[in-house]
């Protein structure tokens, strides 16, 4: 059975790590909320003029940044570097 929804690789990574998360989807875009070591993180997917990206706070907990292109790979690389 194929998994449905968006941000599949990010959600699979979080499940692999055993981190609880909440997933929501609205207007065809995915949203993931989770905590790591007591810090809340958010990943919000968007599509603008045919280009997909995410707004997230993974690098700087209190500041939102956008990532375009192969964002799932970039997000997973960021989380793999957490100590």
Break the chain into its structural domains and give their ranges: 8-80
Q: Which of 50, 10, 60 is nearest to 31 (CA)?
A: 10
pTM for the full model? Answer: 0.88
Contact 14, 21 (CB under 8 A): yes
d(CA 27, CA 12): 22
Tell whether the model's pLDDT for residue 2 goes beyond 80. Answer: no
Tell whether the model's pLDDT for residue 1 goes beyond 60. Answer: no
pLDDT of residue 56: 96
Mean predicted confidence (pLDDT) in 47-54: 92
Contact 41, 35 (CB under 8 A): yes
d(CA 41, CA 19): 12
d(CA 73, CA 71): 5
């Amino acid at each position: 059975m194929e998994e449905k929804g968006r941000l599949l690789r990010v959600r699979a990574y979080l499940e692999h790590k055993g981190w609880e998360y909440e997933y929501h989807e609205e207007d065809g875009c995915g949203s993931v909320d989770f905590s790591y070591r007591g810090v809340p993180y958010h990943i919000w997917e968007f599509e603008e003029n045919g280009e997909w990206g995410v707004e997230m706070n993974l690098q700087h907990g209190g500041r939102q940044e956008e990532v375009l292109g192969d964002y799932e790979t970039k997000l997973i690389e960021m989380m793999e570097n957490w100590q």
